[in-house]
Amino acid sequence: MQNVLSNPKQRGVFGEYYLQSVLENVLSTTQFQMQYKFSNGDIADAVIFLDKGQILPVDSKFSLENYNRMINASGKERDELLQKVKVDLKGRIDETSKYIRPSEKTMDFAFMFIPSESLYYDLLINNVGTGGSSRDLIEYAFRDKHVIITSPTSFMAYLQTVLQGLRSLQIEEQAKDIQVRVGKLGQHISKFDEYMNKLGSALGTTVNHYNAAHKELGKVDKDVVKIAGTAPGVEPLLIDKPRNDN
């Protein structure tokens, strides 16, 4: 998996293949098309066909070169690479927004599909997308460029939301409402991740206190041995902190 994600050519093929697999699990083959060509020759990785000839563009490309370098860097070099990663992602957002073409019957928003859950959270929530005074890339994508950034799981949820909305109301009346709904869903997913990070931090602190207490108990046991001359009766059991696989 890591070898695929580190190779630009393989990464592009993998992203498109994963996107196609997700679409096939939800839609019929007549409801979407891979490698959709616009009138000027630009090609979207996929489009979803909606009612009355309207289409919803989906792009699955993403950049990892600077991100892979950033992971192994530290200090000033890491900070510089972090800024480059943000530029890479912003460029990908801008590129995806070019597929929003109402004159060619597209919806007024598009999906940017990242084919990895861990990569999605690491890039857009934990390390890159938020924090400090930098502007949230998800907010920039949605508010400025009308691009919704998704992982495989969130894309499924967004897709179900879109389809449900289109089944109940006309596209012309519901396009803006659908965009608001998927935006709120994205906010809820972001808030859920925030709480999970806080929970992980709290569990880590608890484990640290537990291990420290057990070490002290071991010292007490040794003191008892010195006084009573008996063998240790306590075998300290240390436990690991919860891991964040993102």
pLDDT digits (tens, 9 = 90+) for 73-120: 888 998 888 888 888 888 889 999 999 999 999 999 999 998 778 777
For the cut 50, the answer to whether the pLDDT of residue 132 exceeds it is no
Task: Work out the percent of the chain whose per-residue pLDDT is above 70.
Answer: 70
Residue 123: pLDDT band with limits 50, 70, 90: low
- The fold of the 2-185 domain, in CATH, is Restriction Endonuclease (3.40.91)
Which phi and psi angles does 106 have, rounded to 5°? -85, 160
Yes or no: say if 11 and 1 are a contact pair by the CB < 8 Å rule.
no
The pTM of the full predicted model, rounded to 2 decimals, is: 0.61
- Give pLDDT, residue 235: 58
Q: How many CA atoms lie within 13 A of 50 on its CB side?
A: 24
Q: Which of 67, 95, 96 is nearest to 81 (CA)?
A: 67
Look up residue 106 and give its DSSP letter.
B
Please report, as a single letter, which amino acid is at residue 161.
Answer: T
Domain ranges in the chain? Answer: 2-185, 194-246
Q: Which of 154, 140, 68, 56 is nearest to 105 (CA)?
A: 56
- Residue 22's contacts (CB-CB under 8 Å, 6 or more residues apart) are 113, 152, 155, 156, 159
Task: Work out the percent of the chain whose per-residue pLDDT is above 90.
Answer: 21
Helical packing angle, 171-228 and 152-168, nearest 10°: 150
